[in-house]
Amino acid sequence: MNLNLLFTCAGRRNYLINYFKEAVGTQGKIFAADMTLSAPAMVDADVAILVPNIYDKDYIQNLKSIIQEHDIKAVISLNDLELPILSKHKAELEECGAIVIVSNEEVIDVSFDKLKTFDFLNDIGLHTPKTYATLDDVKRALANKEIQFPLVVKPRWGSASIGIDFPESMEELDLAYKLQQLKLKKSILNTISLNDYDHAILIQEQIDGVEYGMDIVNDFDGKYYGTFAREKYSMRGGETDKAISKIDERFEKLGEHISTHLKHLGSLDCDIFVTEDKLYVLELNPRFGGGYPFSHEAGINTAAIYIEWLKGNKEVSHLNNFEPERLFSKCDRLIEIKNSGL
C-alpha cells in the first residue's frame, strides 16, 4: 500500500517530518511543500517541492497537481493560516485521491477565530478568559471592575503568539491597541483580518497560574481517542521550549469534553491555565502544535497512529506508551541548505 504523505507549509517542523519518516518506513515517502526551498523542514523530507504563497490564486491547483503526480495518500498542514483554505477546498483536493487531514470549515472557523473560540468554550460550560472585541468594551469592563490589569492584547486571528502585548495601565492599553492596529496591517495576518477589521484585535483578562499544553487526539471520523498533557516550564517564540509530561484525570475529562463538542479530526493543540483548581482553556489549534514533540517523546506516537488509521487499522494501543514526569527540552541544530536557489 502506498503511503506517500504531503506536509504543506512545512516551515521549521523538522521533527514532524522525521517522526513520520520513521513511522512510514519503506511504505512510502514524505513530501514537504513550502513557498521557499530554504525552509528547514524541506531538508529532512524525502522530496521537497516549491509552491506559491497560500493566498496565491494557483495554490490549490498546485496542491492538486502534486497529489496526482506523486500519488499522495494524505495531506497534513502545519500552519494555522492555511487551515481555512484547505478546509474550504477539502472536497476537491480529496477528489484527486488523497485524504486531507483537516477538520471541516465550522471547526476551523471556531478554532481559528479567537472570538468564536471564546463563545464556543462558554457555550459548552468551560472556563476561559473574559474576552472583548473593542477598546470601548474593555474600558467599560475595567470601570465596572469586571476585570483588572494586566490584560492581554492580541490579534483575533493569529498564529504562534504573533503580536501579543500585556498592558498594565490604561496608557499602555491605548498604546498597545494602536500599535497592534499598525502592526496588523504590515503582518501576514492582514489578509485574514480584513474579514472584520474593526474587531480584529482582542483584549482578554490575563490568567495567572500554571500553564499546560494538551494534544487532544481524535480519529479521522472525529471520534475521541485520548488526551496527552504536559506542564510548560518555559516558552520561546510562542512555542513550548521545556515541558514535563503529566497524567491527570482532570485533563482527560477536559479533553474528551472538548473533543465530543468540537469533533475535530486528528490532533488538536490546546493551551490551558490551572489556577485555584480551575482549568481555563485559552486556545484551540486543530493541527500538530509546537508542543507535540514532548508528547511524542513521552510515549504517544501519534505519527504512527496516523499511519495505522490511514491503513484502516483501528487497534493502535501498542503505540500509546505515554508516561508521566518525562521532562524534555528543545535545542537548535544547524543544517545546510543545498540547491535552495537563493
Which position has the higher pLDDT, 228 or 193? Answer: 228
pLDDT confidence bin for 342, thresholds 50/70/90? low
CA distance to 129, 186, 222, 309, per residue, from 260 (Å): 21, 38, 8, 19
Give me the pLDDT at residue 320, please: 98
> pLDDT, tens digit, for every residue of 81-126?
999 999 999 999 999 999 999 999 999 999 999 999 999 999 999 9
Give me the pLDDT at residue 157, please: 83
Give me the pLDDT at residue 36, please: 92
Give me the pLDDT at residue 183, please: 80
Give the CATH fold of the 4-102 domain.
Rossmann fold (3.40.50)
pLDDT confidence bin for 191, thresholds 50/70/90? low
Average pLDDT over residues 45-64: 97
Tell me phi and psi for residue 298, to 5 degrees.
Answer: -85, -5
Cβ-based neighbours of 109, under 8 Å, separated by 6 or more: 84, 116
Give me the pLDDT at residue 39, please: 93
C-alpha cell at 208: 495567572
Average pLDDT over residues 130-154: 96
Cβ-based neighbours of 1, under 8 Å, separated by 6 or more: 27, 311
Give me the pLDDT at residue 53, please: 95
> pLDDT, tens digit, for every residue of 238-272?
778 899 999 999 999 999 999 999 999 999 999 99
DSSP label of 72: E
DSSP label of 45: S
Give me the pLDDT at residue 96, please: 97
Q: Where are the domains of the chain?
A: 4-102, 130-205, 210-329
Q: What percent of the chain has pLDDT over 70?
A: 93
CATH fit for domain 130-205, picks 3.40.640.10, 1.10.10.10, 3.40.50.300, 3.30.1490.20: 3.30.1490.20
Q: Please determine, for residue 341, whether its predicted confidence score (pLDDT) is greater than 80.
A: no
Strands of the chain (E only): list them: 4-8, 30-34, 47-50, 72-77, 99-100, 131-132, 151-155, 201-205, 210-218, 224-236, 239-246, 266-275, 278-285, 327-329
> Please, what is the average pLDDT of the chain?
93
CA distance to 94, 111, 113, 131, 190, per residue, from 172 (Å): 48, 28, 25, 18, 23
Q: Give the dihedral sign, CA 156/162/168/174.
A: negative
Q: Please determine, for residue 290, whether its predicted confidence score (pLDDT) is greater than 70.
A: yes
Q: Please determine, for residue 30, whether its predicted confidence score (pLDDT) is greater than 90.
A: yes
Q: In whole angstroms, what is the distance from residue 209 CA to residue 229 CA? A: 16
Give me the pLDDT at residue 189, please: 58
Give me the pLDDT at residue 181, please: 82
Helix (H) or strand (E) holding 303: helix 302-310
Closest CA to 41 of 65, 16, 21, 62: 16
Region 210-329: CATH code: 3.30.470.20
Upper half-sphere CA count for residue 27 (Cβ side, 13 Å):
16
Which position has the higher pLDDT, 280 or 155? Answer: 280
> pLDDT, tens digit, for every residue of 60-91?
999 999 999 999 999 999 999 999 999 999 99
> pLDDT, tens digit, for every residue of 148-185?
999 999 988 865 555 789 999 999 999 999 988 888 77
Q: In whole angstroms, what is the distance from residue 331 CA to residue 23 CA? A: 23
> pLDDT, tens digit, for every residue of 294-335?
999 999 999 999 999 999 999 999 999 999 999 999 988 888
Q: Please determine, for residue 40, whether its predicted confidence score (pLDDT) is greater than 60.
A: yes
Cβ-based neighbours of 57, under 8 Å, separated by 6 or more: none
